[in-house]
Structures are given as structure tokens and as C-alpha cells.
Structure 1
Amino acid sequence: MKKVVNGWKRADGERRITALKLEVDYELATLYEAMLENDEEKKNECKQRLEKLRQELIRLSI
């Protein structure tokens, strides 16, 4: 039973990592647009979201 649960958790974690990578790509594109527009508020928001995503990726990768 433990093997089944661990396998399920691992698969779920791998799916979340994939989703996080897509979210990071989207945020990077949004940050790029903010940089082109010279929108400081939008840049800071993107940087904060990217930091949260980075921390979650690190937590899931360990």
C-alpha cells in the first residue's frame, strides 16, 4: 500500500513540476513585456510571482 501511495505522490509531484515550468515561462514572457513597457509595478509583481514559483520548484525537486 505504501508503494502505491508513494508512486501516486511522485506522479502528482511530477505533474505539478511540469505545470510550474509552464507558469514560469508565462511569467517570464509577462516580465519581458513589462520591461518593454517600462512598467515598474508590473515588473515587481512578476518578480514576486517568479520567486514564489522558484521556491515551490525547489521544494518539489528535493
Structure 2
Amino acid sequence: MKQVIQSLQRNEAEKRIPVLKMEIDYELATLHDAMIASDKDGMVKCKDKLEKLRQEMIRLEA
């Protein structure tokens, strides 16, 4: 049973990683726009979101 659960978790991680990469790309583009516009609040929000996405990516790849 443990093997089945581990297999399912691995499958979910493999499906989530490409979506997560797209989310990171989008947030980087949003951060770039905020930097160009000198939007301090937008930059902080994007950086926070990117940090959360980075941590999730590390967990999935481990």
C-alpha cells in the first residue's frame, strides 16, 4: 500500500512541476513589469509569490 501511495505522489509531482514552471515564468514577467513601472508594492508581492513557488519546486524535486 505504501508503494501505491508513493507512486501516486510521484505522479502528482511530475504533473505539477511543468505547471509550477509556467507559474514562475509568469511571476518573473510580472516582476519585470513592476520593476519597469517602479511599483514597489508589486515587486514585493511578486518576490513573495516567487519565494513560495521556489520552495514548492524544491519540495517536489526532492
How many corresponding residue pairs? 62
Deviations 1:9-54 (A, max 9, x none): 2111111111111100000000000011010000000000000000
Question: What code does the residue aligned with 2:46 have?
Answer: C
| Structure 1 residue 3, shift from structure 2 partner | 3.9
Question: What code does the residue aligned with 2:35 have?
Answer: M
What is the root-mean-square deviation of aligned Cα atoms in Å? 1.2
CA distance in 2, matches of 1:41, 1:5: 41
Question: Structure 1 length normalisation: TM-score?
Answer: 0.88
Deviating beyond 6 angstroms after TM superposition, the runs of 4 or more aligned structure 1 residues are none
5+ long unaligned stretches in structure 1: none
Does residue 46 of the first structure (1) align with residue 46 of the second (2)?
yes
Question: Structure 2 length normalisation: TM-score?
Answer: 0.88
Q: Corresponding residue for 1:29?
A: 29
Q: Corresponding residue for 2:7?
A: 7
CA distance in 1, matches of 2:2, 2:25: 35
CA distance in 2, matches of 1:52, 1:6: 24
